[in-house]
Structure 1
Amino acid sequence: MQEALESLLERLGCRPTGRPVALSGGDMAAVYRLGTDAGELVIKRDVPERLAGEAEGLRALRSAGTDLVVPEVWAEEGGWLIMEALDPVPPTSAARRTLAEGLRALHAATSAPHGWPRDNACGATPQPNAPLDDGRAFQRERRLRPLTRACHRRGLLDDALRARLEAVALGLEAWLPDAPACLVHGDLWAGNVLYTSRGPALIDPAVYRHFREVDLAMLTLFGAPSPAFLEAYWDGRPPDDWPRREALFQLYPLLNHLLLFGGSYRAAVERALARAEAA
């Protein structure tokens, strides 16, 4: 273990009781679990700016006052993030409903504007969050257009596909009503949800304030939430144009995956784009 980490643990008043164990799923950061005399900890090693954004997001989610479990941040310093460890258990139908109700409560509290006081990251991609009053402008200028241009510069999008994405971004006001901004996890794929003995938990956030569909669309992109989950979240009343909204808010994470992992995601971008273009 590096000297800086040992010094940080000492200042936190805890002493390791074993060696750190590498955890899976750390595509962007090195992640370890460590037993200490003060409890089990998860330790991340990454670029300091990304860890600072994650720590801020965890604290924001913890302070939101929902029934969802969010790991407590013990320290974030010098490229290290130390937080409490959570022990996963198999999910149940009741736990999935609790997740839905917790997300609905998280999204119920709204405030202006769309965005966040600081930029953070979604995976390894810098995530611009400069606030805008109109959510459609935020989706266009802070999400769709920057990643469309970045993918085009790298040759991952041809001119025709870029033009179609730009047209969707420029046409949002024609069909998507503006809505008050709520706190969103920002990267809520199934791997960032843990089911624990204390209830469903959220990890690895990329928080900002925006449309609530951001989190729902991410959950359905890389997983299939149960009908009970969707029924509980929407309280039986999903928006009439949910399929189109779902596709729109899946474009940003798909473009991010295209940028990070290459052309294998282009077909998925095209499929979501076709659904978002539907009149």
Structure 2
Amino acid sequence: MVLDRERIGDLLGVPAERVTDRGSSHAWTLHRVRLADGREVFVKAADDQAGVFAAEAAGLRWLAAAGPGTPVAEVLAADDHHLVLPWLPAESPSAEAAERFGRELAGLHSSSRPAEYGAPWPGYIAELPLDNTLTDADGGVAWPRWYAERRLEPFLRSGARHLSTSDVRLFERVIEEIDALAGPPEPPSRIHGDLWSGNLLWSGGRGLLIDPAAHGGHRETDLAMLALFGAPHISRVLAAYDEVAPLPAGWRERVPLHQLHPLLVHVALFGGSYRGSAVDAAEAALALAG
């Protein structure tokens, strides 16, 4: 899509003077825009991604509403064709920035907890719909079934064409045994929901959350996602997190269970190249059942 400079000016109340294209991602294009008042902003643009942009904007604002110091990029404007954030110069993360992010992520997960799993808006992960149907937390006991029904089953169905019959049966076993695999009950947290390293922007001496699939969920999901493709200084992030919000016993062994959803998403999006990783995660998760 060619960026509508006039529309960006209307959204922000300041004319857009210069646009630098920054490539594309999924179904949208990326742009750096200099405004007449000297500010620079980051813009996603698409012909028709109203639901995706609305979900991203709602998720960022909802995460930020957890309280001061929440490590979330600010939403400046959004409409059916654009999402506008501040331009945040990327930098290499230091150990100190990683520790700060760990503490701030723990604060996000621990404060202003939602009463339900899910979110009050239709969700997306990349361009794929996410079922955010709200479910009463019931002391945390409801999460395993919510995760199975809203995160695992839909993407098992959509990715099944890339899987063998025995693969599908393996994932079905995880779903059947989810209550035994999920660990001790946890109340819902405000989570990013897609926190791989590419959705963590290091800028200004801290880590900032971008591109969320935000919802009320299990805090171990965000930590498992950080590990999935290798976040920098992850051991420092986790140590700082654990100091602020200690993690329950066995959380490391449950990482594959929480990684299974994003891996099935990758199977649905990209095909069989992610099949092996998803199968490995399912087998590791089932090992917890003994």
Bin the TM-score by the shorter chain.
over 0.9
Q: Map 1:1-279; keep pairs closer than 5 Å.
A: 4-18=4-18, 20-24=19-23, 26-38=25-37, 39-46=39-46, 47-109=49-111, 110-133=113-136, 134-152=142-160, 155-176=161-182, 177-197=184-204, 199-224=206-231, 225-235=233-243, 238-278=247-287, 279=290
Query: Following superposition, which runs of at least 4 residues in structure 1 exceed 4 angstroms of deviation?
Result: 1-5
For 2:179 and 2:92, locate their aligned partners in 1 and report how far apart those are by CA, in whole Å: 42
For 2:41 and 2:234, locate their aligned partners in 1 and report how far apart those are by CA, in whole Å: 31
For 2:190 and 2:85, locate their aligned partners in 1 and report how far apart those are by CA, in whole Å: 21
Letter in 2 for 1:30: T
For 1:26 and 1:11, locate their aligned partners in 2 and report how far apart those are by CA, in whole Å: 22
CA offset digits 1:45-64 (Å, max 9, x no partner): 13111000001111112222
> Is the CA contact 1:115–1:132 (under 8 Å) kept in the aligned structure 2?
yes
For 1:147 and 1:106, locate their aligned partners in 2 and report how far apart those are by CA, in whole Å: 27
Letter in 1 for 2:188: A
CA offset digits 1:189-209 (Å, max 9, x no partner): 111111112522111111000
When the two chains are superposed, the root-mean-square deviation of aligned CA atoms in Å is: 2.0
Unaligned runs of 5+ in 2: 137-141
Unaligned runs of 5+ in 1: none
> Is the CA contact 1:114–1:138 (under 8 Å) kept in the aligned structure 2?
yes
> Is the CA contact 2:181–2:286 (under 8 Å) kept in the aligned structure 1?
no
Letter in 2 for 1:48: A
For 1:267 and 1:136, locate their aligned partners in 2 and report how far apart those are by CA, in whole Å: 24
> Is the CA contact 1:71–1:85 (under 8 Å) kept in the aligned structure 2?
no
CA offset digits 1:212-243 (Å, max 9, x no partner): 01110110001144322211112295433223
Distance change in 2, residues 1:223/1:25 (3 Å): farther
For 1:158 and 1:3, locate their aligned partners in 2 and report how far apart those are by CA, in whole Å: 43
Shift of 1:267: 0.5
CA offset digits 1:220-273 (Å, max 9, x no partner): 001144322211112295433223310001000000011101110001011111
Q: Helix, strand or coil for the counterpart of 1:267? A: helix
Q: Helix, strand or coil for the counterpart of 1:111? A: coil
> Is the CA contact 1:181–1:209 (under 8 Å) kept in the aligned structure 2?
yes
Distance change in 2, residues 1:269/1:3 (3 Å): closer
Shift of 1:25: 6.5
Letter in 2 for 1:231: A
Letter in 2 for 1:262: G
Shift of 1:104: 0.3
For 2:75 and 2:280, locate their aligned partners in 1 and report how far apart those are by CA, in whole Å: 39
Shift of 1:23: 2.2
Q: TM-score, normalised by structure 2?
A: 0.89
Q: What is the count of residue pairs matched by the alignment? A: 276
Q: TM-score, normalised by structure 1?
A: 0.92
For 1:247 and 1:25, locate their aligned partners in 2 and report how far apart those are by CA, in whole Å: 30
For 1:138 and 1:118, locate their aligned partners in 2 and report how far apart those are by CA, in whole Å: 16
